[in-house]
Structure 1
Amino acid sequence: MRSFATWITGHRKTVVISWIAALFLIGAISSSVGAEFSEEFKLPASDSKEAFDLLETKFPAQSGETSTIVFKANAGVESPAVEKKMKAAFAEIAKFPHVSEVASPYKKGGAAAVSDNGKIAYATIQFDVPNNKLDKEKTRGIIAIAKGPSGEGLNIQLGGNPVQEAEQEEGDSSFAIGLLAAVVILLITFGSIVAMGLPLVTALFALGVGLSLVTIGTHVFNTANFAIILAAMIGLGVGIDYALFILTRFRNALDEGLEKQEAAIAAVDTAGRAVLFAGITVIISLLGMFLLGLNFLYGVAAAAALAVLFTMIAALTLLPALLTIAGHWVDRLRIPGLGSRSTSVDESGRWFRWSREIQKRPVLSAALSGGLLLLLCVPTLSLRLGTNDAGTEPPDKTTRQAYDLLAEGFGPGFNGPFVMVAALPAPGEDEGLTQLSNSLEKEGGVAAVTSISLNKAENTGTFQVYPTTSPQSVETTQLLDHIRNDLIPPIESKTGAQLHVGGINAVFEDFGNAISEKLPLFIGVVVLLSALLLMIVFRSILVPLKAVLMNLLSIGAAFGIIVAVFQWGWGASIIGVDNTGPIISFFPIFLFAIVFGLSMDYEVFLMSRIHEEWEHSHEAGPSVTRGLALTGRVITAAAAIMVTVFASFMLGEERIIKLFGLGLASAVLIDAVVIRTILVPALMQLFGKRAWWLPHWLARILPRLAVEPPEKPAPVTETG
């Protein structure tokens, strides 16, 4: 690592110019190719996938996306004035590219699309391509035309994925707020505008290159829209943190009398090793999602991993180069009263005193902090996975208002129908579909069943089922399971038809089941690899076991807070969540991967310093005291930055981003405040020298990988 740092600092101008060139070159390529986001949930060997494939091949006109125009008229939707306005709008919309049909309530057989009181009706826009193939500008044009007749007692709203994506704001103030919060905390920590600016510049360069590559990668991987925001959130928090640790070591080295180049080398050779190890751990955790075999996860996992990778590379290359150029100027432009330089570990130090207090009462400290974590984990037992429909969106969104109008006029189930699709045993033999339709009409949880439609070849049929309950309710999931497990099998065996259930509810149910089946493999691989790496680095059995347990506790506590807020509604209004619901199916796997990796960051930074002290003194208690005293301040500052960056994303409108913001912010806060500053020192005190025990036979087998640098490195001659 020292040789690498020597080369980087010796060729600092080349390094800086290379980063600038990479930013402009990759950014230019990214701008030219643009992004191609997709949120298609294509699951291997699932019932909903079979339904989708049948529609795509046998009903190509119905396999694309749909949107709904919902309107409410005080005078009644069938009044001549309202009918004239809406028919004209439907006719204009039908001319748009990829619109295969506009199913109007005014056409023959359209009475079912009018509410019983005659004041609410809906029209369905059928597209012939999936959502990612639709032009957002064209969709915005459809929205404008549809809402044109609004006013004078006529309320028109639109729903569906195309509308939702077209209405999303291009800019997001959350990133700017997070950046501003980081500026404030860095100023408080360092008290210097130059020292504050260097981590920010490093992180922004890394994000510029990383996010440009993510944009290019959307043409390779199926990447969801929120991937860019999530990658920016993680990259900003992690990037500033990594730079903060290296910058702190650099300033300490300058205080010890080292020249600027030697100080930068020392920083990379010490804190840089921990950054490298922590970054690799986060990346392994994220890329572990590829083991699940679900291509929807690939793009988001790759985006987050790229953001972490480039923030890590920038912290190890660009930042040392800038630090070598800046030298003692790093403390220029100071702000009076901010940024204490004290790193003393004498008994007057705050962190020294705190560590000693914890170590005096290790059993009590471990019991209280561990009990708090277990208490926070309790709500996790009530975690319910499912889909988040438009009913969870902000009340001012047209998709939310369309959802509410449909629920008012036709019942909540109209917002998430089941799509029944059948491959018939012979052309025209739709007995299986007919039996299923008749059975469903008698079910208590079914509000309505549409008529059966056959394709031109009459070898495939379909109809829709509207539950009485909303898409995210438990009863809707129970109805889906009842249809699949109890109603369909006997009909299939009797008639020979192959029946499948599609629709958004079925997709998310299958997605959740697929994740649940492969989750043990994912968790096992990530945990074992992380534990093995820690065992190799720290030459210990108890330290990696402790680390895994602590990380799982922080993840469990974060899930508990998520459930309390988003399912139970505790404090939900504070972050702009006005409607509770289940946690979207893919969220737990992402949160686990990200939080497990981030938790390893603080584990490595704290334990590497404790291990360094242990190697010098072989005194267990004093090593913990000095390790926490030397790292407590910087870990707290780093956590404060990451928490504020993550928390700022809760200000955004998208529910999934709020989920990530709250989950990541709470996990980091718990990890840094409760685990690293209370529980870990208490447990290490209880372990004593046993914390560093490793069987001789295992020590011989394991390779050596040191986070700490070798003793007394040779000095480096300053180069211009």
Structure 2
Amino acid sequence: MSSVLYSLGRWAVRARRLVVAMWVVALVLVGGAAGLLQQGLDNQVSIPGTESQEALDRLAATFPQVSGASAQVIVVAPDGGTINDDAMRAAIEDGVEDLGDVSQVEVVTSPYDDLMPASVSDDDRATLLTIQLDGDQGSITDETKDALGVETEALAQALPAGAEAHLGGQLFSSKFPEMTLTEGIGLLVALVVLVLTLGSLVAAGLPLLNALLGVGASMGLLFAATVLGPINSTTPMLAVMLGLAVGIDYALFIVSRHREQLGKGLDVHESIARATATAGSAVVFAGLTVMIALVGLGVAGIPFLTIMGVAAAVTVGVTVLVSLTLLPALLGMAGERLRPRPSRKERRAAARAAAAAVEASQGTPAQDDLEATRTRVAVVAPPEEKPNRFFAGWVRAVTKVPALTVVLVIAGMGALSYPALDLRLALPDAGVMAEDDPARVTYDLVSENFGDGFNGPLIVTGSIVTSTDPVALMDQIGDEIADLPGVADVPLSTPNESADTGIIQVVPEGGPTSAETEALVREIRSLHDHFLDEYGVDLAVTGFTAVGIDVSDKLGNALLPFALVVVGLSLILLTMVFRSIAVPIKATIGYLFSVGAAFGVVSLVFEHGVLAEALNVTRTGPVISFMPIVLMGILFGLAMDYEVFLVSRMREDYVHGGSAKHAISTGFQGSAKVVTAAAIIMIAVFVAFVPHGDMNLKPIALGLAVGVAVDAFVVRMVFVPAVLALLGEKAWYMPKWLDKVLPSFDVEGEGLTRELSLTEWPEPGATDSVAAGDLEVHGASGTIVGPVSVRVPDGGTLLVHGDATAPVSAFLLAVAGRIKVSGGVAKTAGLVLPERASSVRRLVAVVDSAAEDGRPAAAVRRALGDKPKVLVVDGTETVGDLAARAELAQAVAGAQAAGVAVLLGSTGFAATDLAPAGTPVLDVTPGERAGAGAHLATDTDVTEQEVRA
């Protein structure tokens, strides 16, 4: 990974103008596609397979008058008046008629209609007109909504003085979230933090630009995707929030590593490539974990949530791509402007040292020479690395008594997580909107005049096709349901026109999101068998309120499987990265601490009202149903981000020879500053969505802000160092069998470091197709081949011979990138093994003579059609026919003429007849330990030095 990213970083710097131009064109194209294709956003929520959704689908066919979206108009008479006053009645009747003429309106109830009367308050002062529309919520056009608003306003104007009319109901129960200036405060805070962290306005601006471009491209793709299907209106806001946060953070990791390397005197282009390779590897890992967790939201089986997860995952993916391509190009354009300048004190010290050196060698220089020396030294002298006193003191404090630190963290996280036990989930309704919002005004007036339940009536429906008296049947069922506890009223109990389906409208005593209403739904459903046995009717509960309850139930049931997937995923991924058992377990426990604390704080604010007014929470109660699962998915990726960036530096120092305890201190000081800055930026971006944010998004934003704060500053910077200090060397233990089974994810860039160290090996300017130094390979049956030292120049040939097939094949397949090199040094086509094995495989063709029925020449010619750099022909001893061997020799000569290096393997005898005279022979024999034997010989008596020459 790091090697590929290193090459990508170098290319992006060299082709920086092309990269920037490509991204500009991409932005224009996705923006144009969004403008041409976008179909708008949708707030409709449906869950296939639930009782409420299936019943609603049946009603759409049998009783369309009650299956579509609905709205409400509440009309309140002036003090001392009633809706039966002549002036009130005339205005209401005209208003009902005008509302019924609006496009997509199916029927409007009237308090003066005996067949389908509108609800009237006990004191006759208020009536609730129900507007039934033709179509679900997503299909109702803005023109219809606007027309309903106009007619309601006209009704209000026609009413007597002191009377009022307001429009609301299910159709207006949720609003499209919008970006406001408040969210921009988060970006300003991010800019300030970036300037303080990076010490340069140019460097600080790059992460912001990176995030904005990533989000812009993602939003274009998202709105263009609406042509394929409906997308929930909360989705783009969630994607923007997450895209800004990770876009800034990912760029910060790369830019900070780049400036750190520039401070050590590294060349600009080389520094960009290395920063892309090392910090970029962590970015890829963090991005993948976030994307996998977000796509994992599909575990819940809810379409709108799956779409939300996929859209957010695409945003993160685009942000990673921008960070790895556009950001290196922009860093290349910034050039030397990003190199940290030595402090004044360091420049003076360097000048004095240079002057002293000159005086010692030549005497006192002239003043102008001294100034020139000062200037030169000030430009080239890198600032000295100094330990950060604050973070050095921090890590020293938390690891002084690690057991006590761990106990305190566990106790604190337990206390903060405890309120999460009271957390309740529901789909939000108009009751959570701002108090001056028209839909909220209607909601409050309905509650005041009729009771909370009228804001979310239930519909109980079933087939009555076998009934001989459908009207009496529905009255009987309605009367029985009306006697249930928690039922405020049953205003409607009727069959449809064809008398095959009946509906009962049930008004609960509690509000749509109350625990009482949820209990009533469960009570009615528990009586299903009773109604079936007693009346022969298969009843189901549906309606907007019942759908919301089913959504919450299904999401709640999916939470545990999703948590198991996320926790299991974190254990596997972190084990791959850190090659340890204890570190992943500790990281996963810390992640659960962060999730618990986030849930606990959300419950305190939204359920118990702590700081609710300060955070502009319009109504306490249940939070949006998908908050827990979305928060867990996003926080998982962010937690792994900090874990990798912090602990990988500790592991890097430990692997390079430091003690476990010392590695904790040095690794912490090397990365804590950047983790702190990244966390503060994340928190600022998330918090900015809380004060004036959409109530759907507000609890998610608050939970993420708390989760990031706890994860970064308590879990990763207190709990993690303490646990590592407590475990000591055992923290990095991993069984050998597990180490072999799991693939390696080189986040620290160890492979790249090894490649760079071998740049001039075996000698400066060498052009060998194959070079091996003390190469060891584990062959079949546990045998070890090597150490082998050999060099094959470009276009050269080597005969590989052995007494057994296994060692010969093992060596050939190792240099061909097909099996792993166990020890020593090896390069094929200039690429280091095993780090670049995947690239080597594309440049090396392998032909197994035994698999070609003893006639491999045709396979060799086909392989040469792919223009390989190296050709390996194994098992040449199986070619027994003289004509076939002659044909193979001719094919090998063709490869040599094309400048392809050829390695010929044989067992029992050297295939000297297949190569030109004097071709060197490598005798490979297996041994039981490394170094058991391989030597270079030829069919002529020449020394190894002569062969290489």
Candidates 48, 68, 90, aligned match of 1:64:
68
Tell me by how many angstroms 1:110 deviates.
Answer: 6.2
Q: Which residue of 2 aligns with 1:463?
A: 504
> TM-score, normalising length from structure 1?
0.94
What is the 5 A alignment of 1:11-50? 11-50=15-54
Candidates 407, 421, 424, aligned match of 2:461:
421
Instruction: Flag structure 1 segments of 5+ consecutive residues without an equivalent.
Output: 337-341
Q: Which residue of 1 aligns with 2:94?
A: 88
Tell me by how many angstroms 1:519 deviates.
Answer: 2.9
What is the 5 A alignment of 1:99-178? 99-109=105-115, 113-150=119-156, 152-165=161-174, 168=176, 170-178=178-186
Question: Which stretch has the larger CA shift, 298-307 or 502-511?
Answer: 502-511
In structure 2, C-alpha distance between the alignment counterparts of 1:420 and 1:314, rounded to whole Å: 52
- 1:354-403 residue CA offsets vs partner (Å, 9 max, x unmatched): 11221112112222222111111101112222343322222111111111
In structure 1, C-alpha distance between the alignment counterparts of 2:408 and 2:154, rounded to whole Å: 61
Q: Which residue of 2 aligns with 1:480?
A: 521
Tell me by how many angstroms 1:406 deviates.
Answer: 0.8
* Compared CA separation, residues 440 and 619, structure 1 to 2 (3 A): same
Tell me by how many angstroms 1:112 deviates.
Answer: 5.1
Tell me by how many angstroms 1:343 deviates.
Answer: 9.8
Candidates 620, 624, 632, aligned match of 2:672:
632
Tell me by how many angstroms 1:10 deviates.
Answer: 2.1
- 1:156-180 residue CA offsets vs partner (Å, 9 max, x unmatched): 2221243345x65655334323222
* Compared CA separation, residues 274 and 432, structure 1 to 2 (3 A): farther
In structure 1, C-alpha distance between the alignment counterparts of 2:186 and 2:143, rounded to whole Å: 30
Identical amino acids, percent of aligned pairs: 36
* Compared CA separation, residues 137 and 177, structure 1 to 2 (3 A): farther
Matched residue SS, 1:422: strand
- 1:239-287 residue CA offsets vs partner (Å, 9 max, x unmatched): 1011111110111111111122111111111111101000000000010
Q: Which residue of 2 aligns with 1:339?
A: none
Q: Which residue of 2 aligns with 1:217?
A: 225
Matched, 1:10 2:10: no
Candidates 284, 287, 304, aligned match of 2:312:
304
Candidates 362, 378, 401, aligned match of 1:361:
401
Matched, 1:191 2:168: no
What is the 5 A alignment of 1:198-277? 198-277=206-285
Matched residues, number: 711
* Compared CA separation, residues 633 and 644, structure 1 to 2 (3 A): same
In structure 2, C-alpha distance between the alignment counterparts of 1:581 and 1:630, rounded to whole Å: 44
Query: Is the contact between residue 485 and residue 520 of structure 2 (CA under 8 Å) also seen in structure 1?
Result: no
The one of the two structures with greater contact order (alpha-carbon pairs below 8 A, sep at least 6) is 1
1:160 partner amino acid: G
Candidates 589, 592, 596, aligned match of 2:629:
589
2:89 partner amino acid: E
What is the 5 A alignment of 1:167-566? 168=176, 170-330=178-338, 346=386, 349-426=389-466, 430=470, 433-485=474-526, 487-566=527-606
* Compared CA separation, residues 428 and 656, structure 1 to 2 (3 A): farther
Q: Which residue of 1 aligns with 2:662?
A: 622
Question: Which stretch has the larger CA shift, 649-658 or 224-233?
Answer: 649-658
In structure 1, C-alpha distance between the alignment counterparts of 2:18 and 2:397, rounded to whole Å: 49
2:172 partner amino acid: V
- 1:74-122 residue CA offsets vs partner (Å, 9 max, x unmatched): 1333333333333333333322221111222233356652212222212
RMSD: 2.5
Query: Is the contact between residue 159 and residue 403 of structure 1 (CA under 8 Å) also seen in structure 2?
Result: yes
Query: Is the contact between residue 420 and residue 462 of structure 1 (CA under 8 Å) also seen in structure 2?
Result: yes
In structure 2, C-alpha distance between the alignment counterparts of 1:31 and 1:609, rounded to whole Å: 45
Structure with a larger share of its residues in helix: 1
Candidates 55, 59, 62, aligned match of 1:55:
59
Query: Is the contact between residue 109 and residue 118 of structure 2 (CA under 8 Å) also seen in structure 1?
Result: no
- 1:176-201 residue CA offsets vs partner (Å, 9 max, x unmatched): 23222222222232332211211111
- 1:659-708 residue CA offsets vs partner (Å, 9 max, x unmatched): 11111100001111111111111111111111111001111111222101
Question: Which stretch has the larger CA shift, 343-352 or 298-307?
Answer: 343-352
In structure 1, C-alpha distance between the alignment counterparts of 2:163 and 2:43, rounded to whole Å: 33
Query: Is the contact between residue 218 and residue 299 of structure 1 (CA under 8 Å) also seen in structure 2?
Result: no
In structure 2, C-alpha distance between the alignment counterparts of 1:13 and 1:648, rounded to whole Å: 35
Matched residue SS, 2:454: helix
In structure 2, C-alpha distance between the alignment counterparts of 1:301 and 1:50, rounded to whole Å: 25
* Compared CA separation, residues 653 and 534, structure 1 to 2 (3 A): closer
Kindly name which structure, 1 or 2, has the bigger radius of gyration based on alpha carbons: 2
In structure 2, C-alpha distance between the alignment counterparts of 1:365 and 1:307, rounded to whole Å: 38
Q: Which residue of 1 aligns with 2:712?
A: 672
Tell me by how many angstroms 1:515 deviates.
Answer: 2.5
In structure 2, C-alpha distance between the alignment counterparts of 1:343 and 1:623, rounded to whole Å: 23
* Compared CA separation, residues 48 and 432, structure 1 to 2 (3 A): farther
Matched residue SS, 1:579: coil
* Compared CA separation, residues 234 and 653, structure 1 to 2 (3 A): closer
* Compared CA separation, residues 3 and 274, structure 1 to 2 (3 A): same
